[in-house]
Amino acid sequence: MTHDPAAPPASPPSPELAHVQKHWDAIRPNSPVYGFFFGDIKLVSATKDQGRVIAHLPLGPQHINSKKILHGSVSATLVDWAGGMAIAATGLERTGVSVDIHVSYVSAAREGDTLEIETWVSKVGRSLAYTNVEIRKLGGAGQQDKKTVVATGSHTKYLNV
């Protein structure tokens, strides 16, 4: 890979994105399931306002069920993972443990598709945080703006651990 001297320099990540990436880098080695499913996930953006985070995940064979579509357990694990990342985006160091997760499956995605995961915090209280997640399939070549909702979820986490 060569560097194009005429290309503008890459801008540094926002402080929120750097904080979320640091949090992800710290928990990834301690969670084999996250490592297996999300080894290729890329954090794209994070903002402190509403703890909003966007990530992209290219789907591989480890994400697919016997029907050749996204396995429901992967969607549920994404809701779990994304909820923690949203809480991290608010600036908190500890993102808690799951109390409740709800997932609604809307449509299918297949191996080779790329998912966009968008998550945000609805409320952070003294002991509980509430997050929402939307998992979308990005459009293919020539359809970059097309996004199909694959699943939605909500996630409650207990923070005092």
pLDDT in tens, 45-66: 999 988 999 999 999 999 999 9
Share of the chain above pLDDT 70, in %: 89
CA–CA dist 134, 38 (Å, integer) = 17
The residues pairing with 104 across neighbouring beta strands, listed in sequence order, are 152
DSSP states along 134-148? EEEEEP-TT-TT-EE
At residue 5, the pLDDT reads 57
CA–CA dist 24, 9 (Å, integer) = 25
Domains, the chain, in order of start with CATH, read 15-158 (3.10.129.10)
Q: Which of 24, 77, 20 is nearest to 52 (CA)?
A: 20
CA–CA dist 109, 71 (Å, integer) = 9
Write the single-letter amino acid at 111. Answer: E
The pLDDT-based confidence of 1 (bands split at 50, 70, 90) is very low
At residue 150, the pLDDT reads 97
Helix (H, G, I), strand (E, B) or coil at 100: strand
The pLDDT-based confidence of 161 (bands split at 50, 70, 90) is confident
pLDDT average, residue stretch 75-91: 97
At residue 146, the pLDDT reads 76
